[in-house]
Amino acid sequence: MRDHKNKLLQALEEEAQPEASLTEVLLSLRVNALQIPPEQRRQFVTQLIKIDIFNIELNKSLELPLSMLGMSSHELKHALSALISVIVSTAEGVHYMTHTEPTKQNMDVLKRMVEILKEQEDSSVTQRFIIAILQKMSAQSSSALDETVTESVIETLTGKSMIDWCLALLAKSQTTVLHIFCLDFTSALLANLLHATSTLEMFEADSQQTTQVMDQLLNIINGTTISGGAKGAPVTNELPTSVLIHCLICLSYLSKERFSACIDSCNFVDRISQFVEVFSVKQVGENDHESSDKKTILDLCAHMFHPKDTTNANDVSATMEYNELK
């Protein structure tokens, strides 16, 4: 790994146009990561951080990764996002990419990743890597310190309008074929964003935005879309089961008493009931997997939205466990 780092630094220092050399080194590191058994990848990330692969700790700066992200080469952005996706797969890696000193946060790499994401073509490989990065960085951890980092990450993402971006992509998927990876990780990212304390407080202070988010999610699960046409336009693509589950989890976070006015405003209860009624008579294939998916969806709806059973209204452990497994 130190050889890889030395080659990165050498290319940056000695080459007038280092993009090709940087891309080669970064892709080599990515290949090394993929060749390691999954249970040992945490150790691989630890080693990357130990050698300070991007000189963040040495320079107390994110200058090195930001300089590479600022280069025009699409191939370099692809290679760098692929490696960062490996690094942020652990809490230690998220901390490394968001701190210039042990207690000094810096979200500049995260902000730049969002900007690059919005420049990508739908379903492109780079789009997939960056969505995965944002989803991993916004996922909650059991550590109190990591929870503080996660909230900062989520506040940064909401400040960059990522809730709207996620909803737009999910709505677009109903009339345009998009890669399942993009949809799965985008819906999981949206669930992470809506689960955060800062997001719920933001929604509580802005009922109009909350109602709009509810309305869009309800349109998505009920098979209507407002993108590219009038509200209620017919949908040609069904949501994959994992994506539908993530959308239902998002709605469960908003189906609380604190948002009662918004719930009434967008006819939340009737539209959830409409979804359950239509989905319950949906024809599925003969294989056990499709039948199991249908049962899972209906069980989740009963668990999260049934108006007569509020004893465990805040318990979404089963759905979050499914989300984590996916």
And the tokens for 200?
Answer: 């719920």
d(CA 300, CA 63): 45
User: Per-residue confidence at 282, pLDDT binned at 50, 70, 90?
Assistant: confident
Q: Is the pLDDT of residue 217 over 90?
A: yes
Q: What is the pLDDT of residues 223-264, one digit of tens each?
A: 865 444 345 555 567 899 999 999 999 999 999 999 999 999
d(CA 66, CA 140): 25
d(CA 238, CA 275): 13
Beta strand 224-225 pairing with 233-234: antiparallel
E-state strands within 53-158:
99-101, 104-105
Q: What is the pLDDT of residues 4-36, one digit of tens each?
A: 999 999 999 999 999 999 999 999 999 999 999
Residues 248 and 121 placed together within one structural domain of the fold: no
Per-residue model confidence (pLDDT) at position 39: 85
Residues 324 and 178 placed together within one structural domain of the fold: yes
Task: Give the number of domains in the chain.
Answer: 2
Residues 148 and 2 placed together within one structural domain of the fold: yes
Question: Helix (H, G, I), strand (E, B), or coil: what is residue 104?
Answer: strand
Q: Is the pLDDT of residue 308 over 50?
A: no
Q: Is the pLDDT of residue 78 over 50?
A: yes
Q: Is the pLDDT of residue 316 over 70?
A: no
Torsion sign (Cα): 95, 100, 104, 108: negative
Q: Is the pLDDT of residue 325 over 50?
A: no
d(CA 139, CA 134): 9
E-state strands within 8-49:
none
The DSSP string of 190-250 is: HHHHHHSHHHHHHHHH-HHHHHHHHHHHHHHHTTEE-TTSSTTEE--SPPPHHHHHHHHHH
* Beta bridge partners of residue 224, listed in sequence order: 234
Residues 182 and 136 placed together within one structural domain of the fold: no
What percent of the chain has pLDDT above 90? 77
Count each helix (H run) and each strand (E run) in the chain, helices first.
19, 4
Of residues 295 and 289, the one with the higher pLDDT is 295
Phi, psi of 170 (to 5 degrees): -65, -40
Candidates 188, 199, 291, 290; CA nearest to 248 is 188
Q: Is the pLDDT of residue 287 over 90?
A: no
Candidates 248, 325, 316, 318; CA nearest to 279 is 248
Q: What share of the chain is helix, strand, coil (3-state, %, to 5)?
A: 70, 5, 25
Per-residue model confidence (pLDDT) at position 312: 45
Per-residue model confidence (pLDDT) at position 317: 44
Of residues 325 and 174, the one with the higher pLDDT is 174
Mean pLDDT within 176-185 = 96
* Final residue before a domain boundary, out of 134, 160, 186: 160
Residues 149 and 198 placed together within one structural domain of the fold: no
The CATH number covering residue 74 comes to 1.25.10
Question: Helix (H, G, I), strand (E, B), or coil: what is residue 100?
Answer: strand
Residue 101 is given by DSSP the state E
Which range marks the domain in which residue 150 is found? Answer: 1-160
Residues 167 and 307 placed together within one structural domain of the fold: yes
Residues 288 and 202 placed together within one structural domain of the fold: yes
Per-residue model confidence (pLDDT) at position 182: 97
* Final residue before a domain boundary, out of 107, 138, 160: 160
* Final residue before a domain boundary, out of 160, 190, 221: 160
What percent of the chain has pLDDT above 70? 87
Determine which of 190-199, 260-269, 297-306 has the lowest per-residue pLDDT on average: 297-306
Per-residue model confidence (pLDDT) at position 237: 76
Residues 219 and 323 placed together within one structural domain of the fold: yes
Residues 177 and 62 placed together within one structural domain of the fold: no
Per-residue model confidence (pLDDT) at position 324: 46
Per-residue model confidence (pLDDT) at position 236: 62
Q: Is the pLDDT of residue 55 over 60?
A: yes
Average model confidence (pLDDT) for the chain?
89
Per-residue model confidence (pLDDT) at position 247: 97
Cβ contact 147:197 at 8 Å: no
Q: What is the pLDDT of residues 119-174, one digit of tens each?
A: 999 999 999 999 999 999 999 765 555 788 999 999 999 999 999 999 999 999 98
Per-residue model confidence (pLDDT) at position 224: 67
Residues 75 and 170 placed together within one structural domain of the fold: no
Residues 138 and 210 placed together within one structural domain of the fold: no
How remote is the C-alpha of 229 from its chain's centroid?
A: 26
Of residues 65 and 37, the one with the higher pLDDT is 65
Per-residue model confidence (pLDDT) at position 86: 95
Cβ contact 29:35 at 8 Å: no
Residues 153 and 298 placed together within one structural domain of the fold: no
Phi, psi of 104 (to 5 degrees): -115, 105
Per-residue model confidence (pLDDT) at position 311: 44
Mean pLDDT within 100-110 = 96
Torsion sign (Cα): 279, 299, 227, 115: negative
